[in-house]
A = this chain, B = another copy of it.
């Protein structure tokens, strides 16, 4: 059987779904294709490239580092996603670094070809605008959380958003794999120690239960209340 991973296609990239097969084939030919190993850097924040990148397989993390080396995570991307669009649009320096979380097959398209494509495909332009609007909205919420919530509350909110992605009955949620404390810390800008403390506290209260390979949110309603009480949603 032919392995799917060896077929280099952009058919599953959401941003490009409006293109027909002929147009996709042209973009595929204009891309550079590269496989990155786990933890390998794909975009260095201080590089001067301005390609846009498409995640064909694997997962990648958009991340920034403070002067003291503290890691601040902005997004984790799955196959079908894209990154690097800011520099591809405005030509300014990269706003963040991107690294592979696991082996990842990545296609990159030079900025001038990308701009030509969006100028000639208004529907792709509109889709990209919606994506950028989503990034602004996500950032706005994070700025509000950082400005008005304590670290404990931000950990609760992060756990709630993980739970909402997998909940079926609105009562419990099974989060798999168990969230890595340092990942949570990097997403909500706190320390791993704080995350560990908040998780123990939630377990003691019976809101979560750590199982062998999953974190079960047993009282989703209570977790929701805790977040709503401080965010005012």
Cβ-based interface call for A22 (8 A): no
Q: Which residues on the B side are within 8 Å of A95 (C-beta)?
A: 136-137, 140
Please tell me the number of chain A residues within 8 Å of chain B, measured between CB atoms.
Answer: 43
State which of B132, B189, B231 has its C-beta within 8 Å of the C-beta of A67.
B231
Q: Which residues on the B side are within 8 Å of A67 (C-beta)?
A: 148, 230-232
Could you give 11 example pairs across A and B, Cβ below 8 Å?
Answer: A67-B230, A67-B232, A68-B148, A70-B147, A72-B147, A86-B133, A89-B129, A95-B140, A132-B136, A135-B139, A139-B140
- Looking at A119, A128, A136, A139, the one whose CB has the most chain B CB atoms below 10 A away is A136
Give me the 5 closest cross-chain CB pairs, A-B, nearest first: A67-B232, A139-B139, A147-B189, A132-B132, A66-B148
User: Which residues in chain A, 136-187, are within 8 Å of chain B measured between CB atoms?
Assistant: 136-137, 139-140, 142-144, 146-148
Cβ-based interface call for A21 (8 A): no
Cβ-based interface call for A113 (8 A): no
Q: Which residues on the B side are within 8 Å of A135 (C-beta)?
A: 132, 136, 139
Kindly report how many copies of this chain are found in the complex they form together: 2
Binding site for B on A (CB under 8 A): 64, 66-68, 70, 72, 74, 85-86, 89-90, 92, 95-96, 115, 118-120, 122-123, 125-126, 128-130, 132-137, 139-140, 142-144, 146-148, 189, 230-232
Q: Which residues on the B side are within 8 Å of A144 (C-beta)?
A: 64, 66, 72
By beta carbon, the residue of chain B nearest A85 is B133
Q: Which residues on the B side are within 8 Å of A89 (C-beta)?
A: 126, 129-130, 133
